Amino acid sequence: MITLHRFIKFVVASTVLLIAAGGMVTSTDSGLAVPDWPNTYGQFMFSFPLEKMVGGIFYEHGHRMIASTVGFLTIILAVWTWKADPRRWVRWLGVTALGAVILQGLLGGITVLLLLPAPVSIGHAGLAQLFFCLTISLALVTSPGWTKAQTAVDDPTLRCVAVATTAMVYFQIILGATMRHIEAGMAIPDFPFAFGHLVPPFWNAGVAVHFAHRVGAILVTAAILATAGHVWFHHRTRRELVRPATLLALLVMTQVTLGAFVIWSGLQPIINTAHVVNGALVLATSLVLTLRSYRCGFSEVTAAPAARARREVAARERATALSRRERDARTAALGGGDPSAVGLVGPREHQEKLTSKPRTSSVLH
């Protein structure tokens, strides 16, 4: 199982490289440098000579070669997961990743043959992120930290904000892809202002999409800081949550900075690509945090103990409330006042009474 997990991490790293290669294709405007598909200038893709990988062909053909490698690795991933993982849903997750990478390859080919129509190219960009999310999910659920977890946080508020944040990040990435494929990257040429104003003084489709991406950046940053703040405040002892939350906050700050430099550099390809790759990392980190927030009730194996743990916590709370009523009655008999003032309630119980803390469920895997 640990070997499978390491292999999936390798697939994740390869996918990051693939996203970077795709970013370079669009950033250097090389998407049509190889007009045919699946062949390359009439030759079988894998026998195309290296010395002919010149100019835009280097980026486009290189992207195809890396994509083919990732596709091959995903076949191994799906078969291996199917054979090695006892969990049915994980096995199907591997198969879904394989289906996604095949569809992604077809979309890539179709967009070249149809001369990069924006909807197909945006779909290609969007599916790339979904495939990346699938590999990230597989890497997470096959990790020792997931499979050997003893306890998991059961916090409905965290689940809610984490899911909303991940969805917002994905939508923001789709907006960015739309901006890129309708060539609106410089539709607003200045930053932080828009034509010297807070709001653009005139509008067209490119300006609207570009400005929506900027507004989206503000909303996503706020959502990420809210999620990270919730984790820091309520779950500061949970390393598996604090680490992705902190990383998420750092990555979104990096992303905003890169976005600014994309404009200031006039769409410099390497900065542009770094923005794309970092955006994918923001999505992946947000997804990891979200999945960990759902850890307590994620599978058949963990759901029952988690539910049992919740019942145990509820029973303890009922018992605490009962004893508190008894103590209150005794305090009233002694002449009233705050029970904690006469030492009948401990500081921890007193704090519990004052704040409604999110719970931690014990999980027996």
Partner 1 sequence: MQLSKLRLGLALSLAALFSWGCGGGEPSTVAMKTPPPDAKRVDESVAGIVGGRVTYEGAVPENAPINLESDPACVRQNPNGLKLDTFLVNNGGLDNVFVYVKDGLGNYYFDAPATPVTLDQKGCNYSPHVFGVRTGQSLEIVNSDPTLHNVNAMAHVNQSFNLAQAIQGMKNAKVFTAPEVMVRIKCDVHSWMTAYAGVLSHPYFAVTASGGTFELKNLPAGTYTIEAWHEKLGTQAQSVTLAAKETKNISFSFKVTAP
Binding site for partner 1 (CB under 8 A): 28-37, 41-43, 52, 54-58, 60, 109-110, 113-115
Q: Which is nearer to partner 1, 52 or 88 (CB)?
A: 52
* Alpha-helical segments (H) within 142-184: 144-147, 156-181
> Which CB, 57 or 208, lies closer to partner 1?
57
* Shortest Å distance, C-beta 279 to partner 1: 24
Beta carbon nearer to partner 1, 107 or 217? 107
In the chain, which ranges are E strands? 151-154, 359-362
Our CB check for partner 1 shows the closer of 106 and 174 to be: 106
Task: Please say whether the dihedral angle defined by the alpha carbons of residues 6, 9, 15 and 19, taken in this order, is positive or negative.
Answer: negative
Q: How far is the CB of 185 from partner 1 (least distance, A)?
A: 16
**179 contacts 210 by C-beta, under 8 angstroms:** yes
C-beta closer to partner 1: residue 35 or 144: 35
**Smaller CB distance to partner 1: residue 36 or 312?**
36
Rg (CA), the chain: 26
Which runs of E-coded beta strand occur in 222-286?
none
Q: Residue 189 CB, nearest distance to partner 1 (Å)?
A: 9
Paired residues of 194 in beta bridges = 197
Q: Collapsing DSSP states into helix, strand and coil, what is residue 194?
A: strand
Distance set, CA 167 to CA 64, 91, 102, 135, 284 (Å) = 29, 24, 24, 17, 11
Task: In angstroms, give the least distance from the CB of 39 to partner 1.
Answer: 9
Smallest separation, CB 41 to partner 1 (Å): 4
Q: Measured from the CB atom, is 54 or 198 closer to partner 1?
A: 54
Please, which residues bridge with residue 43 across strands? 40
The C-alpha atoms of residue 262 and residue 191 are separated, in whole angstroms, by 10
CB 225, min distance to partner 1, A: 37
Return the structure tokens found at 301. Answer: 């194996």
Closest separation in Å from C-beta 129 to partner 1: 24
CB 245 within 8 A of CB 228: yes
